[in-house]
Amino acid sequence: MSTTVHVIILMGAAGAGKSTVGRQLANELGWCYVDGDDFHPAANLDKINHNLPLTDKDRRPWLEHLRTALRGWVTSGTYVVLACSLLKAVHRARVLGHTKGHVRIAYLKADRPLLKRRLLDRTDHVMKVDLLDSQLETLEEPMDALFLDASEPPQRLVQRILDAFEL
């Protein structure tokens, strides 16, 4: 018996294209799109706006909010594409909890030059290029995710996700 996928998480460092690909994927599937940054408490956003990296202590309430939301989506049968960094394995484990069978992760892998260029090009996002190095230092590549080359065009990445997850 197969498990119904209710949530696709697009993870990766800032600038990998999580929001762009996520919006296109959600549109293609007719699912809700949710940005993980919307779950940060105001204090976290303030730190990020002041180019201060978040600590695991800072991330704790954010992770709990994400975990609660994920559990709610799965329980209610809501279909969601979530764009969310989830850089550490322990963060992913904490958020996924017992919902893992209903969640698929696509990791948008990008090298530093691509991420830096994208962060410098955008002006409408909370995460700025000054925090890129701390993100890359924190990043632990997932063991159980679909790896995607973030340099590919968004529509091609969407198609790869649809094919890989048989959606």
> How many structural domains does the chain have?
1
Residue 2 lies in a domain: no
Three-state DSSP at 9 gives strand
Rounded to whole angstroms, the Cα distance separating 162 from 82 reads 15
Residue 25 lies in a domain: yes
| The residue to which tokens 């600038």 are assigned | 15
Whether the pLDDT of residue 22 is over 90: the answer is: yes
* The predicted structure's pLDDT at residue 1: 38
CATH number at residue 147: 3.40.50.300
Domain that holds residue 36: 7-164
Residue 95 lies in a domain: yes
Write out pLDDT tens, residues 104-161. 999 999 999 999 999 888 766 556 677 788 889 999 999 999 999 999 999 999 999 9
